[in-house]
Chains A and B, each alone.
Chain A
Amino acid sequence: NAGVTQTPKFRILKIGQSMTLQCTQDMNHNYMYWYRQDPGMGLKLIYYSVGAGITDKGEVPNGYNVSRSTTEDFPLRLELAAPSQTSVYFCASSYSRRRNTGELFFGEGSRLTVL
């Protein structure tokens, strides 16, 4: 059971570089989310998607972009990386909450450091 898979697990970027965090799920979930977790803090929602072709901003979308061309994949793009984007990034997915418990299934996280 793969569940939610994130890559890479670790990455160091230089200021101004760009990169994409990959997220894929094999549970046929409609909803997918990207969160960031700063040291000792809770989760902040970056972007979310309720289905292929549909994305929307969360609490902290600045500096990020997403796309959802398939049900399975929800990549997060960082353009012009900044030290403030140093964080642990979590991807999550769920069924529609109206249809199911809405439990979020999380990936193991991607630790990003921007120097």
Chain B
Amino acid sequence: SQELEQSPQSLIVQEGKNLTINCTSSKTLYGLYWYKQKYGEGLIFLMMLQKGGEEKSHEKITAKLDEKKQQSSLHITASQPSHAGIYLCGGGNFGNEKLTFGTGTRLTIIP
């Protein structure tokens, strides 16, 4: 079965600094999803990447998917307290409708 590994597991960053979260799949992905979860709340969809080499941005968050479609990174520029939370990558394989998620990265922003 497909596994998604995220790194780091937790991250403490000073406000205003940049950061990167990585997501690695053991198999080629059909699509890669990034979600954010505020502590104790539901999941918020950030973006989806489907093509090898694809890059998407929304406000200060940029996500990239490598050409082989097995690795993705999420980059936050000039972090703010509102960026704090748990970031989860999710993915599926072509022809398999299971959508599994990574282990999550807990992001803390300190003033």
For chain B, residues 22 to 51, give those with C-beta under 8 angstroms from any C-beta of chain A. 30-31, 33, 35, 41-43, 45, 48, 50
Q: A40-B106, A97-B30 are in contact. Are A102 and B43 (CB under 8 A)?
A: no
B residues near A108, Cβ cutoff 8 Å: 41-42
Write the nearest CB–CB distance from A49 to chain B, whole angstroms: 9
A residues near B100, Cβ cutoff 8 Å: 43, 45, 58-59
A74 at the interface (CB under 8 A from B): no
User: Is the beta-carbon distance between B42 and A42 smaller than 8 angstroms?
Assistant: no
User: Is the beta-carbon distance between A42 and B103 smaller than 8 angstroms?
Assistant: yes
B residues near A58, Cβ cutoff 8 Å: 98, 100
User: Is the beta-carbon distance between B33 and A104 smaller than 8 angstroms?
Assistant: yes
B residues near A43, Cβ cutoff 8 Å: 88, 90, 100-101, 104
User: Is the beta-carbon distance between B98 and A45 smaller than 8 angstroms?
Assistant: yes
Interface size class of A (residues with CB under 8 A): 20 to 34
B residues near A33, Cβ cutoff 8 Å: 99
User: Is the beta-carbon distance between A102 and B92 smaller than 8 angstroms?
Assistant: yes
User: Is the beta-carbon distance between A103 and B33 smaller than 8 angstroms?
Assistant: yes
B102 at the interface (CB under 8 A from A): yes
For chain B, residues 70 to 100, give those with C-beta under 8 angstroms from any C-beta of chain A. 88, 90, 92, 97-100
B108 at the interface (CB under 8 A from A): no
A41–B9 Cα gap in the complex (Å)? 9
Known: A42-B88, A106-B42, A108-B41. 6 other contacts (CB 8 A): A40-B104, A42-B101, A45-B99, A97-B92, A102-B48, A104-B35
Q: Can you list 16 A-B contacts (CB < 8 A)? A: A31-B97, A35-B101, A42-B103, A43-B100, A43-B104, A56-B97, A56-B98, A58-B100, A90-B43, A97-B31, A97-B92, A101-B31, A104-B43, A106-B43, A108-B41, A108-B42
For the complex of A and B, 4 pairs with smallest distance between CB atoms? A42-B104, A43-B101, A42-B103, A106-B43
> Taking beta carbons and an 8 Å cutoff, which residues of B are in contact with A?
1, 6, 30-31, 33, 35, 41-43, 45, 48, 50, 88, 90, 92, 97-104, 106
